[in-house]
Amino acid sequence: MSDPVLNIGIFAVFVVVTLLIVVRTRRRGATTADFYTAGQAFTGRQNGVAIAGDYLSAAAFLGISGAVATYGYDGFLYSIGFLVAWLIALLLVAELLRNTGRFTMADMLSFRLKPGPVRTAAALSTLMVSFFYLLAQMNGAGGLVALLLGVTGRAGQAVVVSVVGALMVLYVLIGGMKGTTWVQIVKAVLLLIGAFGMTVWVLARYGFDFSAILHAAVERGGAGGEALLGPGKQYGATGLSRVDFLSLGITLVLGTAGLPHVLMRFYTVPDSGAARRSVAWAIGLIGVFLLFTLVLGYGAGALVGPEKIANSPGKANSAIPLLAQTLGGPVLLGLIAAVAFATILAVVAGLTITASASFAHDLYAGVLRRKNPPDAKSEVRVARWAAVAIGLVAIAGGIVTNGQNVAFLVSLAFAVAASANLPAILYSLFWRRFTTQGALWSIYGGLVVTVGLIIFSPVVSGTPTSIFPAAHFDWFPLANPGLVAIPLSFLLGYLGTILSTSPSDPHKHSELEVRALTGIGTTPERPS
Amino acid sequence: MASTDEIAAESATDWDRVRSGPEFIELKRRLRRFVVPVTAGFLGWYVVFVLLADFAHGFMATKLFGNVNVGLVLGILQFVSTFVITGLYLRYAAKRLDPLAERIRAEHERTSR
């Protein structure tokens, strides 16, 4: 359906341009602040665009519009959770975290809790979330090339996954956080322009009458067409599937503000005011983008038709590429394919730098070498090697899982972020009595419960679409564990705290609270 | 590591005293007065919306004008409320929080020098 040479050509231009930017903007210094947070030198607006670039993955672009095209209104429901979630980051997390840490979530936690154990716990959960998310992205890259470049052989897809992995490591090694951020900014701008252009095009086809697009989508949908407009086509089948959707909705809203690669972005700006402005910019851009996907989804339903989408190799994920081809032929398809690819690249680079920072800063410097802290140069060296190792693991994972449906990994990443990270962050900031034991119980408890429930869910066994369709150990009925795991982690944090034998240090909490709210001692230029 | 040095250098500050000072108490009160009700509000409104989409299919599918139904309008209103809350918070923080935080910070720098 596409012209592979054209698609690869456009994508190659993106790679060359971003690599040039990464090389041009690289910082010569080897300090940890340079590598992890670009010297905290980004403005709120730049960082906001980068957050949008980090957050709007291929799943958001292709997945949500595909879901709208196939399931109608139920696809739109994802968008709302994805957006509303940012209010938690804006009101409760971004500024306070910026004021009390330097590089990672564990910085804030270890402020008033025992640094060794909480750094270990926070680093493990960060690495888990990053790994799940990364695996989903790499797996998606394999599927996407099958769709866009016509590379259907397993060997060919393995090559593409390796190229994506190698490029992401290259961005991180050469550019550190600064280069990675610029890749995300460029990608976010391209993605927004691409989605905006297609949206206007679709609207113009129907005289800028959204109701007319809906009408056309209903007509095209045939017998199930009318159901596209209301909720329930995907999740409304049984009482259980409805509970599952409720669980997903809660996970999306509470997970975003605990995603480690999102949290790390709050540290790339000089102060909490800039962190606030970045989230505000991100909310605006992400919101507008998600409204585009609504139009594009129904537009694809109307102009391409659900039947053709369902019969194409990428199923729902091919709705947007097919729509691009219908509207603008191979050139628009090539542009949109390159944007989708750039999206994967930018997101995986962001995940890689987050995971490598957590490994080097929390585990290596904060725990393993706690007695004899390494200098900045060797910590950055460890971070670089960690990035290489993460890249290799991600490539291997992407190749091994190629062809399997691992979309659940994204919601699993959100569920771990919501249950292992968010309770510890909120308790630590807002609860004076919170103790180390409470943090450990909620982080490890959240991790174990979430992953455990997924293993015993229909995602892994018991149904024809499971990973092991023949086996039956699916005694937990929901595919989304959040509804159980998130309250349980909050409860564990509470119980761990009140059952602690060593009480929390109220003076350390005073310091944390004063710093969090006023920003005393955060501005790097200010002598302390 | 710079962060530990920084913290060590400033540990002479009496954080409990700053925390119990009238300006800090006022800053905390102002932050909570905005954040607590607004967070409860937007989370509640989101959960109501999800429950409606989940269990009130007939209501959500009621057409209002053209092919636009209640569900779509409520969904768009979720976007609108998110944008509005963001705008209100930016204004509130700039007017009511930042000047106070800046005063406490300046006072701290003056006394710790």
pLDDT digits (tens, 9 = 90+) for A216-270: 999 998 888 888 998 888 887 788 889 999 999 999 999 999 999 999 999 999 9
Overall size of chain B counted in residues: 113
In one letter, which amino acid is A164? V
Residue B5 is assigned to a structural domain of this protein: no
Out of B11, B34, B46, name the one closest to residue A253 (CB): B46
In which residue ranges of chain B is pLDDT below 70? Answer: 1-12, 113
Q: What is the least distance, in Å, from the CA of B75 to any CA of chain A?
A: 7
Residue of chain A nearest B55, judged by CA positions: A242
Look at residue B3 in the predicted model and tell me its pLDDT. 46
Q: What is the least distance, in Å, from the CA of A239 to any CA of chain B?
A: 9
Out of A73, A245, A277, name the one closest to residue B71 (CB): A73
* List of chain A residues whose C-beta atoms are within 8 Å of the C-beta of residue B27: 517-518
Q: What share of chain B is helix, strand, coil (3-state, %, to 5)?
A: 85, 5, 10
Look at residue A140 in the predicted model and tell me its pLDDT. 80
- The backbone torsions φ and ψ at residue B68, rounded to the nearest 5 degrees and listed phi first, read -85, 120
Single out the residue of B77, B69, B57 nearest to residue A211, CA to CA: B69
Q: A26 with A166: CB under 8 angstroms?
A: no
The pair of three-digit structure tokens given for residue A153, joined into one six-digit string: 């052989």
Residue B9 is assigned to a structural domain of this protein: no
Q: How far apart are CA A308 and CA A300, in angstroms?
A: 10
Look at residue A238 in the predicted model and tell me its pLDDT. 84
Single out the residue of A269, A350, A267, A264 nearest to residue A41, CA to CA: A269
Q: What is the least distance, in Å, from the CA of B50 to any CA of chain A?
A: 7
Q: How far apart are CA A140 and CA A455, in angstroms?
A: 21
Q: A289 with A63: CB under 8 angstroms?
A: no
Single out the residue of A181, A214, A142, A191 nearest to residue A399, CA to CA: A142
Q: What is the least distance, in Å, from the CA of A349 to any CA of chain B?
A: 26
For residue A148, count other CB atoms closer than 10 A to its CB: 24
DSSP A458: T
User: Residue A403 to residues A141, A321, A427: CA-CA distances in angstroms?
Assistant: 11, 19, 41
Contact A519 B105 (CB under 8 A): yes
User: Residue A34 to residues A25, A95, A380: CA-CA distances in angstroms?
Assistant: 12, 21, 9
Residue B12 is assigned to a structural domain of this protein: no
Overall size of chain A counted in residues: 528
Contact A90 B86 (CB under 8 A): yes
- The backbone torsions φ and ψ at residue A207, rounded to the nearest 5 degrees and listed phi first, read 60, 35
Contact A513 B28 (CB under 8 A): yes
Within chain A, what is the greatest distance between any pair of CA atoms? 70
Look at residue A396 in the predicted model and tell me its pLDDT. 93
Residue B48 is assigned to a structural domain of this protein: yes
Interface ipTM: 0.92
Look at residue B22 in the predicted model and tell me its pLDDT. 94
Look at residue B26 in the predicted model and tell me its pLDDT. 96
Q: What is the least distance, in Å, from the CA of A396 to any CA of chain B?
A: 34
Out of A242, A291, A517, name the one closest to residue B79 (CB): A291
The pair of three-digit structure tokens given for residue A512, joined into one six-digit string: 């944390």
User: Residue A35 to residues A25, A38, A40, A111, A372: CA-CA distances in angstroms?
Assistant: 12, 6, 10, 22, 21
Q: What is the least distance, in Å, from the CA of B32 to any CA of chain A?
A: 10
Residue of chain B nearest A214, judged by CA positions: B67
Q: What is the least distance, in Å, from the CA of B82 to any CA of chain A?
A: 6
Please give the residue range of the domain that contains residue B53.
Answer: 22-111
Give pLDDT tens digits for A437-447.
Answer: 999 999 999 99
* List of chain A residues whose C-beta atoms are within 8 Å of the C-beta of residue B73: none
Q: A51 with A282: CB under 8 angstroms?
A: yes
Residues 6+ apart with CB under 8 A from B26: B100
**Residue A97, Ramachandran bin (φ over 0: left; ψ between -120 and 50: alpha; else beta):** alpha
Mutation target to probe the B interface, by most B beta carbons within 10 A, among A283, A514, A515, A526 is A514
Contact A280 B90 (CB under 8 A): yes
Look at residue A236 in the predicted model and tell me its pLDDT. 77
Look at residue A29 in the predicted model and tell me its pLDDT. 64
* List of chain A residues whose C-beta atoms are within 8 Å of the C-beta of residue B9: 528
Out of A87, A211, A514, name the one closest to residue B67 (CB): A211
Which helix (H) or strand (E) covers residue A500, if one does?
none
Q: How far apart are CA A120 and CA A190, in angstroms?
A: 38
User: Residue A194 to residues A324, B17, B112: CA-CA distances in angstroms?
Assistant: 10, 54, 53
* List of chain B residues whose C-beta atoms are within 8 Å of the C-beta of residue A87: 38-39, 42, 82, 85-86
DSSP A366: I
In which residue ranges of chain A is pLDDT below 50? Answer: 525-528
Look at residue A525 in the predicted model and tell me its pLDDT. 43
Look at residue A521 in the predicted model and tell me its pLDDT. 82
Domain count, chain B: 1
Residue B92 is assigned to a structural domain of this protein: yes
Contact A517 B28 (CB under 8 A): yes
DSSP one-letter string for A191-236: HHHHHHHHHHHHHHHTTT-HHHHHHHHHHHHGGGSGGGGSS-TTT-
- In the block, tokens 């698609």 appear at A7
* List of chain A residues whose C-beta atoms are within 8 Å of the C-beta of residue B15: 507, 510-511, 514
Contact A514 B31 (CB under 8 A): no
Contact B86 A284 (CB under 8 A): yes
Residues 6+ apart with CB under 8 A from A167: A15, A345
Contact A84 B1 (CB under 8 A): no
Residue of chain A nearest B34, judged by CA positions: A91
Q: A64 with A385: CB under 8 angstroms?
A: no
Residues 6+ apart with CB under 8 A from A353: A36, A172, A176, A177, A180, A261, A264, A387
Residue B7 is assigned to a structural domain of this protein: no
Q: How far apart are CA B8 and CA B26, in angstroms?
A: 28
Residues 6+ apart with CB under 8 A from A483: A243, A246, A247, A250, A251
DSSP one-letter string for B47-97: HHHHHHHHH-HHHHT-EEETTEEHHHHHHHHHHHHHHHHHHHHHHHIIIII
Q: How far apart are CA A360 and CA A380, in angstroms?
A: 7
Q: A76 with A297: CB under 8 angstroms?
A: yes
User: Cα angle vertex A92, ends A88, A98, to 5°?
Assistant: 115
Out of B3, B47, B101, name the one closest to residue A518 (CB): B101
Q: How far apart are CA A184 and CA A492, in angstroms?
A: 36
Within chain B, what is the greatest distance between any pair of CA atoms? 68
Q: A288 with A195: CB under 8 angstroms?
A: no
Contact A80 B49 (CB under 8 A): yes
User: Residue A16 to residues A143, A212, A423, B24: CA-CA distances in angstroms?
Assistant: 23, 41, 42, 51
Single out the residue of A491, A480, A362, A357 nearest to residue A413, CA to CA: A480
Contact A242 B55 (CB under 8 A): yes
* List of chain A residues whose C-beta atoms are within 8 Å of the C-beta of residue B85: 87, 91
Out of B72, B83, B101, name the one closest to residue A519 (CB): B101
Residue B32 is assigned to a structural domain of this protein: yes
Contact B82 A210 (CB under 8 A): no
Single out the residue of A318, A308, A316 nearest to residue A340, CA to CA: A318
Residue B99 is assigned to a structural domain of this protein: yes
Residue of chain A nearest B13, judged by CA positions: A511
In one letter, which amino acid is A328? G
Contact B108 A518 (CB under 8 A): yes
DSSP A393: H
Residue of chain A nearest B53, judged by CA positions: A231
